[in-house]
Homo-oligomer: A and B are copies of this chain.
Amino acid sequence: MSYYFTKSRVETFSDGIFAIIITLLILEIKVPHIELSESISELSEDLLHLAPKFIAWVISFLSVAVIWVNHHRIFESLKHINHAVFWLNANLLLWVSFIPFPTALMGDYPNNKLAVSFFGLSSLMMGIAFLIFRFYMWKRPEITNDLSDEYLRRGVWNVLLFGPTLYLFGTATAWIHPYIAFAFYALVTIYFIFPQTAASQKTEE
């Protein structure tokens, strides 16, 4: 029996799941049915009603892209993929593959507090999956590319602060008003896209 997995195959498998999830999201938005097939006013009205769904779709698309970036960063740090890492990754992918359901729920009922909170809860579970993964890497530095204890600990803290914590706020504030939760969900994505990109750009120069 071999103790390690071929890294490239685990990556291909994971990338496949990411690619499918990010692509399936659009399928939840159905073409509206109009009575008069040439009516512009009827169709434009129906398209406008789909606006919350389009917004939910963009948020989810960017969220999955952000998750991919973090997944990529973790795998770049890994030297070996043992059984434990494989299942920590599978746990993460389980929550990633769940995303279409809460996205559709939130898109269908954007004013329902439970629906919006549910999206946060499932994102929170996904964030916790990242946290456990990072924590395991910190405790087993020998499976990483000789990374320092300092670097690995910072990885745990970063995930904790910008993942689970923000999603927890979203899950909770949805009960005050769904739009506050939307803001928190968008914030996670914006944080990972803009300041992080700016920071990496700077160091690059």
**Could you list which residues of chain A lie within 8 angstroms of chain B, going by C-beta atoms?**
1-3, 5-6, 9, 11-27, 29, 31, 34, 37-40, 43-44, 47, 58, 61-62, 65, 68-69, 72-73, 76, 82-84, 86-87, 90, 93-94, 97-98, 100-101, 104-105, 108-109, 111-115, 118, 193, 196-197, 199-201, 203-204
Contact = CB atoms under 8 A, between A and B. Distances in A.
Closest 4 CB pairs of A and B: A16-B19, A83-B197, A20-B23, A83-B200
A147 to B, nearest CB: 11
B40 A114 contact: yes
Given A47-B118, A82-B200, A118-B47, A58 B94 contact: yes
A9 B75 CA distance: 11
A60 to B, nearest CB: 11
Nearest to A14: B19
Nearest to A155: B1
Contacts of A24: 20, 23, 27
Nearest to A118: B47
B100 A26 contact: yes
